[in-house]
Structure 1
């Protein structure tokens, strides 16, 4: 399953930040979003994930094909690691959580309450959630934040296997993950200075 983005424009705080964004994300491929802080990486990902509307343009993708990993880990502090993954597996109607635990090296932490995890462990749990969604297109916003070098390598291996299975990934990251991937530089799509939304109201997204 692919994602096709055509002439997309997105806004933050009532001001357009990106316009004319166009690309195709094909099965088995990864695309890296690059740009300085404030360039619009998070805003673009939120739009592609269906969390806020675009000003203009079109995103062609089945909503049930997309899984989004934001800055927040999506972890419930009062549940254990295993219970967190089981919760998300139930939401998405998928099966066993053991492969996800193993892929992100969480087996030894399965019975630990999420509130007792380190920042890096919470991040690994948040990323393991992608594996229980069963969805082929992963959108990820700075997924390696709080991860040490070993965990970054572990995560990169998970992405490689996902791509090898026909999935795809769109990743906003300043880190070299060692992936074979195209790069989309958002500087080329910076909106014109002062461009505003007119009648568009971002609050209704």
Structure 2
């Protein structure tokens, strides 16, 4: 029961897309740290296939999230906006970074809130101009609780196949398009 309450704060964001889109050409040129992060996710996905039981599977998820905590600080990663909305008077956003979602949201049972308040004017104002499908560059940090990244999926299979991590944004901007970067 408590695990389902934990994700109530981000249900609406998760509904924007049932499955993450595949990486697009605009997501090429990822930073080394982002590539490492996604490689670790992929390695855990491959290991999960051979997990002999639920206990081993959940231990694998815990190990993955503990190891990913080493990469919790993010500088200029790339992604695609999945959805933007208002929650509790603040901005909520979800971004696909290559089959993995980072999101500003609320984890109720842990009391964690990464929603973007209007007082965080640069990031909040940028959210006002973005829409689903926009390519963005962002910085910030993944939230870490008890040594692990905070993963928001309802189920273990969701946590492995399409993980969603709670994220605190410090910078967010539209990714320059080739025609705009020449000017």
TM range (shorter): under 0.3
Larger strand share, 1 or 2? 2
Q: Which structure has the larger Rg over C-alpha atoms?
A: 1
TM-score of the superposed pair, with normalisation by structure 2: 0.27
